[in-house]
Amino acid sequence: MRRILALTGGVGGAKLALGLSRVLEAHEVLFAVNTADDFTHLGLHISPDIDSLTYALAGQNNTETGWGRAGDSWHCIETFAELGGADWFRLGDKDLALHLRRTQLMAAGGTLTDATASIAQALGIAHPIAPMSNDAVRTIVHTDSGPLAFQHYFVRERCAPRVERFEFRGGDTAELNPLIESWLDGCDGVVICPSNPYVSIDPMLSLGRLRERLTDLPVVAISPIVGGLALKGPAAKMMAELHVPATVEAVAAHYHDILDGLVIDSTDAEASKLIGIPTIVTNTIMVTLADRVALASAALGFLGDLTPAS
Amino acid sequence: MRRILALTGGVGGAKLALGLSRVLEAHEVLFAVNTADDFTHLGLHISPDIDSLTYALAGQNNTETGWGRAGDSWHCIETFAELGGADWFRLGDKDLALHLRRTQLMAAGGTLTDATASIAQALGIAHPIAPMSNDAVRTIVHTDSGPLAFQHYFVRERCAPRVERFEFRGGDTAELNPLIESWLDGCDGVVICPSNPYVSIDPMLSLGRLRERLTDLPVVAISPIVGGLALKGPAAKMMAELHVPATVEAVAAHYHDILDGLVIDSTDAEASKLIGIPTIVTNTIMVTLADRVALASAALGFLGDLTPAS
């Protein structure tokens, strides 16, 4: 089994992606990344999930902040605030360089895929990264405070408003990245990284025929919910607000039409028999690089044992 | 004499401007600044001369580099280069914040004057700064290597190509900043700072009726040429390439239709009698703040003693 598609969002998913990159050769995996969190800020094209993955694969993720680039500084954004600008989106000085470079490459006519590849190459990343689309898809979070652009909901408002529903604006016309489309031909299996099902994975699944094509392939997901909590980000809070229990069963149910197996944490071992599809129980809390590699290996082994559900 | 117009370019002129700001109240002087060096770089509106003046008046000019902001760092531009971007224009992290802020304010509909005022206020500057125009005027340096945008000539090519002529693209339609226009009504006199006559002062003089209106006012210039050399920048090299001797006489001749008096350095005392208009001889090499204030005082005293030439 050596042609894997991995679907990932930002920080949480990128941890597993790093593990996958240590057990799969560059030609054996394609990382498809959510871009519905992207936004234009200060004239810059910012792609938070691509950046989290890029920094993780380059060994440049900032482990102090949990986001952004390692060893970054804040001279620009602090000065920007002194000059009267809003600083709710904390751009590090080095991180800013990436946004400037992406914006420059795209202004010169490159696609988001081209820009991503150029930056990844400069950072020494061998594994291919495919933004889910070269077209703009933008998550709008409909909340009790009204509709909010994703980063406004997520960063500026710190996920405080109650979620009512999600809209992936542009998703109906955006084309699935042709790199992903062609990777699906002859693809051996799919790993859904432990990312937010609603705002990291669903935007991808809404594109073109991706969801339909995944029904014909072995698909395993790693539950982003552990012990009723989200390891990273607002997934559990969102589930509560959407009146969905924050459980591994609910994660399985969310992906019911495409999922052939779920990887759950030992904390949730009891729930294994309630899920209704094959599961494996292991440690899914990735602290060390060894944790990432072990979970990636376990997920790939599990995937190899499965055949398509339909 | 308490309504002074000062015309200035970047670093050299800004030294005198700082001196003027210490001897004139904020309501007694308007700093009109060259914007023909402005350019769009990485999507940012960069106004080098406005910035040099702003940093000088704020006490934030970088005395180590001679340009840019004091105490700046280079994390962004260095990372940008690592990502494959061109770094010939050295943007400091703090300096970058100013360009981001200006670009943001202008994208929101502000004029260059509005953006300049907002930034100046944030930096605690009381004296008004008027970009020469809110419209784009761009110096094209026609050289033996072909036409070059000013910053390409000045920074990227380090002034190496031989100058043939200058073009102020857009200058024929750009409107003189209304702030300058109205300041001229009741203006008591004009100080031309020791800036490059060709690329810092001439672009301003090319706008609207400014040159014509200056013929009716007392105008003194501080020679940017001292002992046959330019204290700052390529003025002397340009003069040689244009077959003009790099002398204080040539500076006077350059401004012949508007100039009523020239301030020259003691080094050039001998030339005083060759100039044909009133001169004062003093130290024009501004090293300390006291030098700046002394020269500003001398120029203003000289200006007070003059009557319009025509």
Q: Which of A42, A72, A97 sits opposite B100 (nearest CB)?
A: A42
Of B43, B83, B97, the CB nearest to A98: B83
Which DSSP category does B177 fall into?
P
Considering the entire predicted model, what is its pTM? 0.93
Could you report the per-residue pLDDT of B60-91, keeping only the tens digit for each?
Answer: 999 999 899 999 999 999 999 999 999 999 99
- Is residue A222 within 8 A of residue A295, CB to CB? The reply is yes
Phi and psi at residue A206, to the nearest 5°: -80, -5
Question: Comparing C-alpha atoms, which of B50, B51, B53 is closest to residue B18?
Answer: B53
CB neighbourhood size of A146 (10 A): 9
Domain of residue B232, CATH code: 3.40.50.10680
Q: How far is B80 from chain A (nearest CA, A)?
A: 5
Q: Give pLDDT, residue A92.
A: 98
Name the nearest CA neighbour of B192 among B2, B3, B69, B9.
B9
Helix B48-57 vs helix B112-122: angle between axes, to the nearest 10 degrees? Answer: 30
Cβ distance of A83 and B93 shorter than 8 Å: no
Contact B277, B309 (CB under 8 A): yes
Residue B310 binned pLDDT confidence (cut-offs 50, 70, 90): very low
Note whether residue B107 is domain-resident: no
Of all helices (H) and strands (E), which one includes residue B63?
none
**Pairing outcome for strands A129-131 and A29-33:** parallel
Low-confidence ranges of chain A (pLDDT < 50): 308-310
Q: In chain B, which residues have their Cβ closer than 8 Å to the Cβ of A100?
A: 42-43, 76, 80, 85
Reported as a single tens digit per residue, the pLDDT across B292-306 is 999 999 999 999 998
Residue A151 domain flag: no
Asked if the structure places residue A128 within a domain, the reply is: yes
Q: At what angle do helices A93-107 and B75-82 cross, to 10 degrees?
A: 50
C-alpha B186: how far from its chain's center?
Answer: 23
Q: Is A152 inside a domain boundary?
A: no
Q: Domain span at residue B232?
A: 4-59+112-118+125-135+170-305
Residue at A222 is within a domain: yes
Q: Any residues with CB less than 8 A from the CB of A124 and at least 6 apart, and which?
A: A58
Q: Which region, left, alpha or beta, applies to residue A117 given φ > 0 means left and ψ of -120 to 50 means alpha?
A: alpha
Across residues B208-235, what is the average pLDDT?
A: 94
Q: Tell me, what's the pLDDT at A18?
A: 98
Q: Which residue of B has its CA nearest to A42?
A: B104
pLDDT (0 to 100) of residue A310: 44
The verdict on residue A146 lying in a domain is: no
Nearest CB to B94; choose among A75, A97, A122: A75
- DSSP assignment letter at B69: B
Gap from A6 CA to chain B (nearest CA, Å): 25
Q: Would you say A278 and A307 are in contact if contact means Cβ atoms under 8 Å apart?
A: no
* B99 to chain A: closest CA residue: A80
Domains: count for chain A: 1
Can you tell me the distance from the alpha carbon of A200 to that of A31, in angstroms, rounded to the nearest whole number? 13
Residue-level pLDDT at A231:
82
Report pLDDT for B309. Answer: 45
pLDDT at position A307, please? 65
For chain B, give the number of residues. 310
Q: Which of B80, B98, B122 sits opposite A97 (nearest CB)?
A: B80
Say what the ipTM of the complex is. 0.93
Closest CA to A233 of A12, A65, A70: A12
Which class for A162: exposed (0-12), middle (13-18), buried (19 or more C-beta within 10 A)?
middle
pLDDT of residue A113: 98
Q: What's the angle, vertex CA B62, arms to CA A102 and CA B202, rounded to 5? A: 85
Residue B101 lies in a domain: no
Q: Which tokens sit at B95?
A: 């300096």
B258 vs B14: CA distance, rounded Å: 21
Say if A177 falls within a structural domain: yes
Residue type (1 letter), A283: N
The label of the residue with tokens 């494959």 reads: B84
The per-residue pLDDT of chain B, averaged, comes to 95
pLDDT band at B1 (very low <50, low <70, confident <90, very high): low
Q: How far apart are CA B90 and CA B96, in angstroms?
A: 10
Among A42-51, A225-234, B239-248, B254-263, the range scoring the smallest mean pLDDT is A225-234
Angstrom distance (rounded) from CA B260 to CA B218: 6
